Amino acid sequence: MTKRGFPDEEFRARVAAAQEQMAAAELDALLLTEEADVAYVTGFQTRFWESPTRPWFIVMPGSGAPIAVIPSIGADLMARTWLTDIRTWRAPDYEDDGVSLLAETLAESVGRTGRVGVPMALESHLRMPLADWARLEDHLPNIRFVPDAGVLRRLRMVKSAGEIAKIETACAIAGRAFDRVPEIAAAGVPLDLVFRRFQMLCLEEGADWVRYLAGGAGPGGYADVISPASAHPLEPGDVLMLDTGLTHDGYFCDFDRNFSVGPPSAETRSAHARLIEAVQAGAEIARPGVLASDLFHAMDRIVTGGAGGSEAGRLGHGLGLQLTEGLSLIPQDDTVLVEGMVLTLEPGVTLGNGRIMVHEEDIVVTDGAPRFLSDPFGPEIAVLEGRA
Amino acid sequence: MTKRGFPDEEFRARVAAAQEQMAAAELDALLLTEEADVAYVTGFQTRFWESPTRPWFIVMPGSGAPIAVIPSIGADLMARTWLTDIRTWRAPDYEDDGVSLLAETLAESVGRTGRVGVPMALESHLRMPLADWARLEDHLPNIRFVPDAGVLRRLRMVKSAGEIAKIETACAIAGRAFDRVPEIAAAGVPLDLVFRRFQMLCLEEGADWVRYLAGGAGPGGYADVISPASAHPLEPGDVLMLDTGLTHDGYFCDFDRNFSVGPPSAETRSAHARLIEAVQAGAEIARPGVLASDLFHAMDRIVTGGAGGSEAGRLGHGLGLQLTEGLSLIPQDDTVLVEGMVLTLEPGVTLGNGRIMVHEEDIVVTDGAPRFLSDPFGPEIAVLEGRA
């Protein structure tokens, strides 16, 4: 376990770095509405984001500390972060759900004219009602809301030592849970019970939350990688895959493990070994200066012979405060790797009968060879008890 | 456990009801982007929504079945729903992340001109990048994107028998977990361990996911109701509150329980009894024809003497595919209750030293007295072992 949270200085450094980029992009403020962005600059953590009712706003001015404009139900919790300027309203307010308070705060931060950056690109969502967004623009006719120039997305891609430690802890928790899968899964056990028991293992091993779990099971492979579990019992010859994004102190791991129910077929063994080979090929070249697309091609050569991709769309992605964030390992992503980036390597192979197998590991880019944050699995697939 | 999913006829009935309202509001189609709306009309369930990378679109035309416009990674899972028209692209696509495919589908559904309703009001978010939203509008200069007239929000507020059964199952699972809290919590146990063990109990009792858990513990009450857990051990005299939103087959429960660590003080006992009295006062009048605001006032009279509310903002809310949805129990909400609405009654009291206590139950409105979906707790607070 790492110490919870981050020292205030880390938040100040994040904000200073953002403000430097904001100045370069001629942004007078940033407006943030999403859980991960809010957590990144404030340290505010709550599962209350699950409720869609209330919007939460952070105004980051061009200099000085961010300002929280939030529902009063969150005032006590926000006051425990490093922020000191916390403005609240009683939400939900059907007449004015924080819009005029936000407008005042923005006007105070940038003046009556100015450019406010808002995340608008891929992976971002505006977490407030569209009608309130229009009202906000009406309140501030001389302020321009413009794309945020990717400021936080870019900063968040490169993790601090403290962030990497949290992701590594999350990975270690999931690793211990994966090691114990033989305790909970065997032929005859319904897949939904495996899912439930696996979440319990994750919690027992120290997860704060099991925010993501997907997987599948089927003869020699599974049909997709995003399904919830059916009640179908595992059968000899099935390949079971569990892919978890549990969190530790707000940070995700995201990797999977495959298991053969009973002795694996030659095809299953070979497919698994090929996946591991692909991960190693990706890891082999994951160094500063290399492109995200290079990692894609290194893995794609192994799993498809260089066909250029699959319907899953990518062979890995960034990881941190979100299950998936930042770069994508696709041919079109020319992000240059730098030290501190955390990514998943997630090659997949297509087998007969519409079945697939996918393997995933988490790495951090260093100044030399990348470091695996998940304990990398070997070429031989794990085997579960094949008799019920 | 209820049978998973719903018969196709239920989805057809939901869509037909929506289309009737769409016709009245002169909407030629609806565009849906959020998890709960997509689940409501299709039955599509996955935890993959946790990944922000890919948008998912449902186009509901004025007549006929909805059309899915989704990333190819979800094609297999969507094909298991009742939808037959499923159009996919390989996401993420940095050039065109589904926007032109969505534009074509909309144009095909409403013609080159038409009015497309989009959820824009309180509680809704547009789950796609703002820049892509602007691109979509550019693709379709003669189509008007307008507020959705609350069509799905209104429909979703009134639950079918099948939906109520799922919420009741979720409540029963949480109820059994709450009954077992004395197994996992006592003086000396750190709050974060209580949180972790409580999630394990929820899973052991049958939860699919524990999407929400908040709570608090402190001498004679807690500071707020949305905090994650600290590592502070429970102490004699603490009041512990656990508030969970676990899901069964996509549907949430949302209720809490309070526990006194060791014998409760007179103030704690009295506060707890007052909360139960307030819940009963709300339930007493929760019948068809009554307003949401009436329930607020009935409870507020008991907990504050009629002060008109608290910083928490409301004394209950709708519940279903989302932890909170639909109506709010606030003075300004004039929603008329009708049979089949599921709501929480969630009064709070303010105690000394900035401490609060909150109690919450879940009910369904019937043609007579409401039915409790959570097993309503009595006036005497539960007591945990007070010695470590």
pLDDT exceeds 60 at position B1: no
CB B255 within 8 A of CB B344: yes
Dmax (CA) of chain A: 72
- Structure confidence at residue B225 as a pLDDT band (50, 70, 90): confident
Fold for B8-156, please state it.
Creatine Amidinohydrolase; Chain A, domain 1 (3.40.350)
For residue A224, is pLDDT > 90?
A: no
Q: What is the tens place of the pLDDT at every residue in A235-260?
A: 999 999 999 999 999 999 999 999 99
Beta bridge partners of A371: A364
Confidence (pLDDT) at A352: 82
Say what the alpha-carbon torsion angle B305, B310, B313, B317 is, to the nearest 10 degrees: -40
Indicate the average pLDDT of chain B.
96
Q: Does domain A8-155 have CATH number 3.40.350.10?
A: yes
Nearest neighbour of B125 by CB, restricted to A125, A207, A225: A125
| Residue type for position A266 | A
For residue range B135-173, list pLDDT tens digits in order.
999 999 999 999 999 999 999 999 999 999 999 999 999
Query: If pLDDT is split at 50, 70 and 90, which confidence band does B210 have?
Result: very high
Q: Where are the domains of chain B?
A: 8-156, 158-384
Contact between chains at B317 and A227 (C-beta distance less than 8 A): no
Q: What is the dihedral of CA B45, B46, B48, B53, to 10 degrees?
A: -20
What pLDDT shows up at residue A387? 83
Percent of chain B with pLDDT over 70: 99
CATH of domain B158-384: 3.90.230.10
Q: What percent of chain A has pLDDT over 70?
A: 99
Tell me the residue type at B173. Answer: I
pLDDT at residue B312, as a whole number: 66
At A87 the pLDDT is 98
**Nearest residue in chain B measured CA to CA from A48:** B226
Rg of chain B's alpha carbons, rounded to an integer?
A: 23
The answer to whether the bond into B129 is cis (omega within 30° of 0) is no
Listed range (A202-206, A383-387, B255-259) with the worst mean pLDDT: A383-387
- B12-30 pLDDT tens trace: 999 999 999 999 999 999 9
Please write the tens of the pLDDT for every residue from B297-333.
Answer: 999 999 999 988 766 679 999 999 999 999 999 999 9
Q: pLDDT-derived band of residue A350, with 50, 70 and 90 as boundaries? A: very high
> pLDDT grade, residue A57 (50/70/90)?
very high
Q: Which residues of B touch A245 (CB under 8 A)?
A: 50
Tokens coding B263: 């014998």
Kindly provide the b/e burial profile for residues A26-52, where b requires at least 16 CB atoms within 10 angstroms of the residue's own CB: ebbbbbbbbbbbbbbbbbbbbbbbbbb
What residues pair up with A158 in beta bridges, in sequence order?
A341
Is A46 touching B (CB cutoff 8 A)? yes
Q: How far apart are CA B110 and CA B132, in angstroms?
A: 20
pLDDT, residue B171, reads: 98
Rounded Cα gap, residues B189 and B200, in angstroms:
16
Q: What is the pLDDT of residues B236-263, one digit of tens each?
A: 999 999 999 999 999 999 999 999 999 9
Contact criterion met (CB below 8 Å) for A377 and A365: no
pLDDT of res. B228: 86
Q: How far apart are CA B140 and CA B107, in angstroms?
A: 8
User: What is the CB neighbour count within 10 angstroms for residue A121?
Assistant: 16
Of B72, B124, B134, the CB nearest to A311: B72
The yes-or-no verdict on residue B202 having pLDDT over 60 is: yes
pLDDT of A1 higher than 70: no
Average pLDDT (A68-76) is 96
- Average pLDDT (A124-138) is 97
Q: What's the pLDDT score for residue A113?
A: 86
B245 sits in which H/E element: strand B238-248
* CB A230, CB A238: distance < 8 Å: no
The one-letter code for the residue type at B377 is: F
Exposure of B156 in the CB half-sphere (CA atoms within 13 A): 22
Instruction: Give contacts of A 311-350 with B, CB under 8 A.
Output: 311-314, 317, 322-325, 328, 330, 332-333
Answer yes or no: do A126 and B125 touch at CB < 8 A: yes
Give the residue-averaged pLDDT of A33-47: 97
Average pLDDT, chain A: 96
- In A72-127, DSSP assigns E strands to 86-89, 114-118
Give the H/E segment covering residue B145: strand B143-147
Task: Please give the DSSP secondary-structure letter assigned to residue A47.
Answer: G
Return d(Cα B62, Cα B28) in angstroms, integer: 5
Cβ–Cβ < 8 Å for A315, A329: yes
Tokens of B209: 């996911």
Q: Within the 128-187 window of chain B, which residues sit less than 8 Å (CB to CB) from chain A?
A: 128-132, 134, 147
Tokens of B14: 């939901």
Distances (CA, A) of A46 to A36, A76, A364, B235: 11, 12, 26, 23
Confidence of residue A127 (pLDDT cuts 50, 70, 90): very high
In tens, the pLDDT along B61-100 reads 999 999 999 999 999 999 999 999 999 999 999 999 999 9
Please give the pLDDT value at position A312. 66
E strands, chain A, in order: 29-32, 57-61, 67-71, 86-89, 114-118, 143-147, 209-219, 238-248, 251-252, 255-261, 317-318, 325-328, 342-345, 348-350, 356-358, 361-364, 371-372, 382-384
**Nearest chain A CA: its distance from B73 CA (Å):** 5
Among B173, B198, B203, which would you mutate to test the A interface (most chain A Cβ atoms within 10 Å of its Cβ)?
Answer: B203
pLDDT, tens digit, 9 for 90 and up, residues A152-166: 999 999 999 999 999
Closest to A199 (Cα-Cα) out of A234, A224, A228: A228
Chain A contact for B116, CB < 8 A? no
Interchain CB distance below 8 Å, A76 and B323? no
Q: What is the pLDDT of residue A199?
A: 98
Q: Which token pair is B243?
A: 């508030």
Domains B8-156 and B158-384 share a fold: no
Give the gyration radius of chain A's Cα atoms.
23
Task: Say if A232 is an interface residue toward chain B (CB within 8 Å).
Answer: no
